[in-house]
Chains A and B, each alone.
Chain A
Amino acid sequence: MVHMQLFIRTIITTTMFEIISLPFFQRAIIVGIVMAITAALLGVFVVIRRMSFFTDAVSHASLTGVALALLVGVHPFIGAVIVSILVGLLVSRLQKSGKQEVDTIIGVLFSTTLALGVLIISLMNGYRGNLFQYLFGDIIAVNSNDVIVSIVLLGVVLVVLFSAFKSLTKVAVHEDMARVDGVRVGLVDGLFLVVLAAVVAVGLKVVGAILMSALMILPAATAQYLAKSFRSMVILSVVSAVIAMCGGLFVAAAFSLPTGPTIVLVSAGLFVLAALGGILKSR
């Protein structure tokens, strides 16, 4: 029994060392950890502001952005950011008009933009093979340039989020109270949308358009079950996201599984464990 345990441990350790020594895996783990921290921090605000469905719309819309960018010959990242922001603004505008419920507006937009993105990419010669990658991500495929661009962008996003941390939290508590305290709510909302679109665009490489919102929402939702304060929610969310990212990458590499879905499923596993812990604690 002891020998068997030692054998399994040796195989796992050897496999992990082999995986870590691979340059493409090192690039993936660097981008993945930075992405996990940023998405988790952003996800906390998405969850406390009850914007999970909105985030779905923005991330699904990014696929149309990628498709249009490929069509006109610009970098897919630019297309993803622009279309994500436009769809976010459109949701806000239609919501303010008050003629439809916000979940109906989002339901219409996120399915339409996803369908449009898939259709355009399918019709383009030479890109059809990349469709699965855009939908579900492939972090193993990131190159050195992607690493630099991702770190710089996500670093800027982190600085913006920490600078606006108190304002974002005030707006989440009560918009009018925040306004009286001098917070420019429109500016904060606009900034939040731009940051969200940028993280979604970078996240396309990691988990793809379909699973991007899960990368933000799952860690925050996991942290909610365990957090005794907002500070602990933020910290637990980041820790849970990093564990899910690293765990998902190792499992995917070890068993030759697609990375995006594996990362999300590991994150979902942590969510289930936290939910069970939360239920047991409340009894």
Chain B
Amino acid sequence: MEDQILLAEHITVQRSGTAIVNDVSVSLQRGEVLAIVGPNGAGKTTFMKAILGLTQSRGKITWAPDVTIGYVPQKVSISSSFPVTVGEFFLLKSREAFWFRSKKSQSNVWLARVGAEHLVDKKMAELSGGELQRVLIAYALSGDANVLCLDEPSAGIDIGGGQTVYGLLSELRKTQNKTVILISHDLDVVFKYADQVLCIDQRMICSGRPSTVLTTETLERMYGAHATVYPHHNHNHHV
């Protein structure tokens, strides 16, 4: 299809003879938000790493030829003994010289988009969880990425920080037609922001529109017999 940006077919990842991800397929259109959900240890991060080529896998992964990916991993831990500043971090990806940063650096533009331009001279190791997440998203966007892959972007940050991150992603999608692949445990987020959901628990449990495929039955298959969906009046959902 013309607007298809990713086609992953029959992806299997094995470690020490055990399948961590088993025969999972997904197809994604340009500008869509795909949420990957599943219990702890279901292979969500491994699947994301497989489609990014960060881990060896079997199957076929086809990205659109013009794809540029920005990736925000689950955990970025920068030691306090590594004094790299936010501005320097952005220079690592840009074509600007590392040693002579101008005040009109492109990093300011990207940081401004996530409301973090005031952090440019701060050390990465001194950022709070929410600040770090904003900076990492801005960094992921900074190479003019058309696909953002985010592994639990709200993990380790407070509710307000999480809402800001998802609000930002929603805006990016609307205004810049970015394709987003995100891993989340929060089904509220999935219902609110995702066009497509991929449920995995080593193997594929469901795939499609959240309102169609996230049924009590599929949730029970993933999370156990006590899981169900409670619709809210404001269309939010809880497990």
Contact present for A229 and B83 (CB under 8 Å)? yes
Contact present for A227 and B83 (CB under 8 Å)? yes
Contact present for A48 and B71 (CB under 8 Å)? no
Contact present for B76 and A177 (CB under 8 Å)? yes
Report Cα–Cα, A174/B70, bound state, in Å: 13
Which residues from B are CB-within-8-Å of A170? Answer: 92-93
Looking at chain A's contact residues, the main secondary structure is helix
Contact present for A173 and B98 (CB under 8 Å)? no
Within 8 A of B (CB), among A200-259: 224, 227-233
Closest chain B residue to A178, Cβ basis: B92
Tell me, yes or no, whether A50 is within 8 Å of chain B by CB: yes
Report Cα–Cα, A230/B52, bound state, in Å: 29
Report Cα–Cα, A31/B121, bound state, in Å: 37
Which residues from A are CB-within-8-Å of B143? Answer: 181
The digit string for A166-179, where 1 denotes a CB below 8 A from any CB of B, is 10011011101101
Contact present for B71 and A173 (CB under 8 Å)? no
Contact present for B82 and A172 (CB under 8 Å)? yes
Within 8 A of A (CB), among B81-117: 81-85, 88-89, 91-93, 98-99
Tell me, yes or no, whether A279 is within 8 Å of chain B by CB: no
Tell me, yes or no, whether A180 is within 8 Å of chain B by CB: yes
Which residues from A are CB-within-8-Å of B52? Answer: 176, 179-180
Q: Please tell me which one of the listed residues B76, B81, B98 contacts residue A174 in the complex, with CB atoms under 8 A apart.
A: B76
Report Cα–Cα, A56/B143, bound state, in Å: 38
Which residues from B are CB-within-8-Å of A233? Answer: 83
Q: Please tell me which one of the listed residues A165, A166, A174, A228 contacts residue B83 in the complex, with CB atoms under 8 A apart.
A: A228
Which residues from B are CB-within-8-Å of A50? Answer: 79
Within 8 A of B (CB), among A130-179: 165-166, 169-170, 172-174, 176-177, 179
Tell me, yes or no, whether A47 is within 8 Å of chain B by CB: yes
Contact present for B54 and A173 (CB under 8 Å)? no
Contact present for B84 and A229 (CB under 8 Å)? yes
- Measured CB to CB, the closest approach of chain A to B19, in angstroms, equals 19
Tell me, yes or no, whether B69 is within 8 Å of chain A by CB: yes
Closest chain B residue to A170, Cβ basis: B92
Tell me, yes or no, whether B159 is within 8 Å of chain A by CB: no
Contact present for B92 and A166 (CB under 8 Å)? yes
Contact present for A169 and B84 (CB under 8 Å)? yes
Contact present for B84 and A180 (CB under 8 Å)? no
Which residues from B are CB-within-8-Å of A172? Answer: 82
Contact present for A176 and B49 (CB under 8 Å)? yes
Contact present for B85 and A229 (CB under 8 Å)? yes
Contact present for A181 and B93 (CB under 8 Å)? yes
Query: With contacts A169-B92, A173-B92 known, is A179 near B54, CB below 8 A?
Result: yes
Report Cα–Cα, A169/B84, bound state, in Å: 9
Report Cα–Cα, A174/B74, bound state, in Å: 11
Residue with the greatest number of chain B CB neighbours at <10 A, chosen from A176, A227, A233? A176
Report Cα–Cα, A170/B78, bound state, in Å: 12
Which residues from B are CB-within-8-Å of A228? Answer: 83, 85, 123
- Measured CB to CB, the closest approach of chain B to A112, in angstroms, equals 29
Report Cα–Cα, A206/B49, bound state, in Å: 45
The digit string for B105-136, where 1 denotes a CB below 8 A from any CB of A, is 00000000000000001011000000000000
Contact present for A173 and B89 (CB under 8 Å)? yes
Closest 7 CB pairs of A and B: A180-B71, A230-B84, A48-B82, A227-B83, A229-B85, A230-B88, A166-B92
Interface residues of B (CB under 8 A from A): 49, 52-54, 69-71, 73, 76, 78-79, 81-85, 88-89, 91-93, 98-99, 121, 123-124, 143, 149
Interface residues of A (CB under 8 A from B): 47-48, 50, 165-166, 169-170, 172-174, 176-177, 179-181, 224, 227-233
List 5 contacting pairs A-B, 8 Å CB cutoff, sorted by A: A48-B79, A50-B79, A169-B92, A229-B88, A229-B123
